[in-house]
Amino acid sequence: MNKQKSIWKNRYLLSGILISVAVAILIHFPELISLFDRFESRQLFPDMQISEVVSEVLFTFISLLILFAANTAVFHFNKPEVKISRKQVLLSFLFTVVLSTLLAKGFVYLHHALHLPAIESMVHHYLHPFRDFLISCVVTGGCYIIYLVHRQQQVIIENQQLQAENILGQYEVLKNQLNPHMLFNSLNTLQSLTREDTQKAQEYIRELSRVLRYTLQGNEEKTVTLYDEMQFLSAYSFLLKMRYENNLHFVLQIDKSLEAYFLPPMSLQVLIENAVKHNEISDRNPLTIHIYTDDGPVVCVSNAIQPRLTHSSGTGIGLANLAKRYQLLFGQDISITEDINFTVRIPLIRRPL
């Protein structure tokens, strides 16, 4: 935040200097044109010297810098967090008019006392009130416009920060929904194994600990590599095979070159659990789940559609959760096709968040 304020102060100062240079030249543009116009013979500004024009431009530039600095110090145009009303803008304009007049009188005094070069023509003196008014408009208007621009930028940044915090909050809620659901199914299986086969139960506990360790680590990360996800999937698929024995099979075809790509943690677990939940898995109808990578790059999870004889009660998590996480994190959609097979394609991301 301090760095951002420092950058803004530098930009504000730079904007004031650039405006001062431009206005100082434009204000004395008639004199500059007359100075280099051979045909006009300086009828409007007789006996005018280059040193006098340079002195007038330099004085105007310095005056503009002083006016910008004074308005900034008094009305705080360089602080977008301060609310500036129309009344303050009007006071700034009147303040600038008075200060600009005083500066002009000071220049006249220095011209007479110290013999500083100055244009003496009548036309030049007649233009002074108009130029003072114009300078006041430019200084007040310039300060206020710069203030409004930065205030608008600050509002945009604050809105983006709020959106990011909101997205992060939504993502954490969605992610944390997965763990209790998976743990509940795993503990049910472990309870059955404990009664039937102690050796298998111990092996199951070992793989379950790997799954839970990954789950806890995944809660701290927004993305993981496909390689890490597949290592987790090895342990998770073991748990499912212990539960369904020879009725559940996995076929893996993963391109090694894509293992360094990223995806949300436990994405594949969601898709596999979805396949297990909605399809019949029995001696009569074993289920094979294919997990493979494809061009895109994407990773696909596909299985034959073999609906359960009894309706499976969903928990409202699953695919909708995964689709929402992809939208929140990457602004991308997952793809679902349903014909003979039910296939879900999820994008792989080149760089982590």
Q: Please indicate whether residue 43 or residue 263 has the higher confidence score (pLDDT).
A: 263
Q: Find the mean pLDDT for residues 66-77.
A: 88
Q: Find the mean pLDDT for residues 118-143.
A: 78
- pLDDT band per the 50, 70, 90 thresholds, residue 14: confident
- As a whole number of angstroms, the distance between CA 69 and CA 36 comes to 33
Beta pairing, strands 287-294 & 248-253 = parallel
| pLDDT score recorded for residue 124 | 59
Residue entry with tokens 């009130």 = 129
| pLDDT score recorded for residue 6 | 58
pLDDT digits (tens, 9 = 90+) for 296-310: 899 999 999 998 877
Query: What's the CATH code, domain 197-347?
Result: 3.30.565.10
Q: Does the pLDDT value for residue 80 go beyond 60?
A: yes
- Residues 266 and 232: beta-carbon distance below 8 Å: yes
User: What residue ranges do the domains of the chain occupy?
Assistant: 2-161, 197-347
What does the block give as tokens for 326? 């992809």
| pLDDT score recorded for residue 298 | 95
Q: Does the pLDDT value for residue 26 go beyond 80?
A: yes
| pLDDT score recorded for residue 347 | 95
pLDDT digits (tens, 9 = 90+) for 316-348: 457 887 888 888 788 889 999 999 999 999 999
| 41-55, 75-89, 290-304 — most confident range | 290-304
Out of 53-57, 89-93, 245-249, least confident range = 53-57
CA 170 → CA 315, 335, 349, distances in Å?
18, 22, 20
- As a whole number of angstroms, the distance between CA 194 and CA 197 comes to 6
| pLDDT score recorded for residue 273 | 85
- As a whole number of angstroms, the distance between CA 335 and CA 120 comes to 80
- As a whole number of angstroms, the distance between CA 89 and CA 145 comes to 11
- pLDDT band per the 50, 70, 90 thresholds, residue 256: very high
Whole-number average pLDDT of the chain = 81
| pLDDT score recorded for residue 287 | 95
pLDDT digits (tens, 9 = 90+) for 149-193: 888 887 787 777 656 655 665 555 555 555 555 667 677 777 777
Q: Please indicate whether residue 41 or residue 289 has the higher confidence score (pLDDT).
A: 289
- As a whole number of angstroms, the distance between CA 222 and CA 329 comes to 8
Q: Does the pLDDT value for residue 117 go beyond 70?
A: yes
CA 142 → CA 15, 155, 220, 333, 347, distances in Å?
9, 20, 48, 46, 48
pTM above 0.75, yes or no: no
Q: Please indicate whether residue 199 or residue 122 has the higher confidence score (pLDDT).
A: 199
What does the block give as tokens for 338? 């349903």
Burial of 227 (0-12, 13-18, 19+ CB in 10 A): middle
Query: Could you tell me where the DSSP H helices lie in the chain?
Result: 2-27, 29-35, 50-75, 86-114, 122-196, 198-218, 226-244, 267-278, 318-330
| pLDDT score recorded for residue 222 | 80
Helical (H) or strand (E) element with 262: strand 262-263
Out of 29-43, 180-194, 275-289, 293-307, least confident range = 29-43
- Residues 34 and 50: beta-carbon distance below 8 Å: no
- As a whole number of angstroms, the distance between CA 33 and CA 208 comes to 86
Q: Find the mean pLDDT for residues 7-36.
A: 78
- As a whole number of angstroms, the distance between CA 63 and CA 231 comes to 70
The contacts of residue 37 (CB under 8 Å, 6+ apart) are none
| pLDDT score recorded for residue 255 | 93
Helical (H) or strand (E) element with 288: strand 287-294
| pLDDT score recorded for residue 230 | 94
